[in-house]
Amino acid sequence: MLGIAVLGVGSRGLEYMSFVKYFHRKKAKISAVCDFNSTRLKEVAEKFKLPPDKCFLDEDEFFAAGRRGDALFICTQDASHYSHAMKAMDAGYKNILLEKPVSKNIAECEELARRAKEEGVHLVVCHVLRYSGYYRKIKEILRSGELGEIVSINHSESIAYFHFAHSYVRGNWHSEAATSPSLLAKCCHDIDLIQWFMEEECKQVSSTGSLKYFKKENAPPGATERCLDGCKAKNNCPYDAERLYITDPFYKATFIKYMGRVLTDKIISTKKEKYETLKNGDYGKCVYFCDNDVMDNQIVTMNFASGKTAVHSMSAFTDKMFRKTHITCTKGEIIGQDSDSKITVNIFGKGGKKVRTKIIKLSGHVEGDIRFIKRYIVK
């Protein structure tokens, strides 16, 4: 039985722990947890039946206790990943699963990669999309050679207005200095996919983008600084926090409505508790009056060694969350959208076909998350 220690039991940490518990209970179990948020730590300890000597509130005590499992999942916030991965190696962990992005400092990324290699540490970054059935199928078609060589990739990520508002305007990733630029936070997966498909070195990158919309000059007349402060624009505002987090009916609700733990720290929160945090916390702020500075739209162009090119675009302004990919090759093309289970493959002069992919229909990249943990535990 493999023991898995988890540093940071927030959204990601708890999700991975739940996958271990529900899908891999015969092979692995949670052996220790550390989180400086006492509410979260206590709830997780109860849910996973972990005694006090396996629960740490302080990272120094956690690391000083030495290796607390066969593997460590590092699921803390972006700015801590480098130092936590270094401390994990100091503590003797040989299997580390590190949340993305590794760091916004390239020297830190290189240092971690170098050290892991030298010390024989299996350091895996959570680029979960590589593990989803959909992207693995695209990779398989490309590798088969039937489409010839890749010429260009046109890839896009539609973040969805509500998701962007939650994470990049009101939430954890609203400030570039505190965490990461939005492209790094959201699209490191996409850049990773493009690099994975291309299988050759990227020689040149350029990028442009802006924070176009979520600024105070775009606030509608009558908007107040918090949604619950008598905002007169509330009824016509798609970003109204009360609606998104509490009152939207089931058939209309986005996944944001089910993010109660992000609001209150508690796995199950009452309506009253949610209202309380919307009144006082960041998630109740008007999207036009937040201290956000990350871009809400950005484009990247990439040139590769043999003349292949790629474009990636990211936008907050879409109704749904999905990624589209169009890969043109010398003998054919692949066209797909990751929320579908089919990919269109056209072979020049021979016509097209629809290729089915095995995907678990869940919102966002949860499909990739499940398969990622499955592969990790097996390895």
Ligand X SMILES: NC(=O)c1ccc[n+]([C@@H]2O[C@H](COP(=O)([O-])OP(=O)(O)OC[C@H]3O[C@@H](n4cnc5c(N)ncnc54)[C@H](O)[C@@H]3O)[C@@H](O)[C@H]2O)c1
Which residues would be at the binding site for ligand X (CB under 6 A)? 8-13, 34-37, 40, 59, 75-78, 80, 99-100, 126, 128, 172, 185, 365
Q: Which residues, at least 6 apart from 184, have a Cβ–Cβ distance to it below 8 Å?
A: 101, 104
Q: How far is the CB of 224 from ligand X (least distance, A)?
A: 27
Q: Which is nearer to ligand X, 8 or 332 (CB)?
A: 8
Number of other CB atoms surrounding residue 358 within 10 Å: 12
Measure the CA–CA gap between 73 and 346, rounded to whole angstroms. 41
What is the closest distance, in whole angstroms, from the C-beta atom of residue 74 to ligand X in the complex?
9
Please report the DSSP string for 187-242 in residue order. Answer: HHHHHHHHHHHH-S-EEEEEEEEE--SSSGGGPPTT--SBTTTT-SSGGG-TT-HH
Closest CA to 346 of 358, 334, 337, 356: 334
User: CB of residue 55 vs ligand X: minimum separation in angstroms?
Assistant: 11
Least distance between ligand X and beta carbon 164 (Å): 13
Q: Which of 85/329 has CB closer to ligand X?
A: 85
Bridge partner residues of 207 (DSSP): 300
Closest to ligand X by CB, 258 or 348: 258
CA distances to 269, 314, 315, 338 from 324, in Å: 35, 11, 12, 7
Burial 277-287 (b: 16+ CB within 10 A, else e): bbeebbbbbbb
Q: Hey, is 34 helix, strand or coil?
A: strand
Nearer to ligand X, 100 or 342 (CB): 100
Q: Name the CA radius of gyration of the chain, rounded.
A: 22
Find the shortest distance in angstroms from Cβ 100 to ligand X.
5
Helix (H, G, I), strand (E, B) or coil at 314: strand
Question: In whole angstroms, how close is the CB of 346 to ligand X at the nearest point?
Answer: 30
Burial of 210 (0-12, 13-18, 19+ CB in 10 A): exposed
In whole angstroms, the minimum distance from the beta carbon of 37 to ligand X comes to 4
Tell me how far apart the alpha carbons of residues 226 and 244 are, in angstroms, rounded to a whole number. 14
Smallest gap from residue 272 Cβ to ligand X (A): 22
Chain-centroid distance, C-alpha 166: 13
**CB nearer to ligand X: pick between 75 and 116:** 75
**Please, which residue, 126 or 294, has the CB nearer to ligand X?**
126
Residue 82: which of 42, 116, 47, 118 has the closest Cα?
116
Q: Name the minimum Å distance from CB 361 to ligand X.
A: 18
Q: Respond yes or no on whether the N-terminal peptide bond of residue 249 is cis (omega within 30° of 0).
A: no
Closest CB to ligand X: residue number: 10
**What is the residue type of 145?**
G
